[in-house]
Amino acid sequence: MALIVKDILKSRGISIKDFAEQLGINRVNLSNQLNGNPTLETLEKWASALGVSVPDLFNDKTSVINCPNCGSEIVISIKTPLPK
């Protein structure tokens, strides 16, 4: 699953700097969190600030199935629209 926080911010016209200020942290810390592995607590703060649920911060649902004919893995990814 991929985080789409940056995409949500961009679609709403919110800069990373402005979002960091809204969260009460500096831009560099937010950028590091966005590019790293944020904790559940961090994801909850972002979701609350954006007015969305934590699952809305992720854009896809991915499933892997095996081909019945050759046994190869097939990755199925469903992209969801950005939350408004």
In a domain, 20, yes or no: yes
In a domain, 31, yes or no: yes
In a domain, 84, yes or no: no
- What is the domain count for the chain? 1
State the CATH number of the domain containing residue 24. Answer: 1.10.260.40
The single residue listed with the structure tokens 């990373």 is 16
* Domain extent at residue 48: 5-79
The single residue listed with the structure tokens 């944020």 is 38
Burial class (CB in 10 A: 0-12, 13-18, 19+), 39: exposed
pLDDT in tens, the chain (84 residues): 578 899 899 999 999 999 999 999 999 999 999 999 899 999 999 999 999 999 889 876 666 788 889 989 887 766 666 666
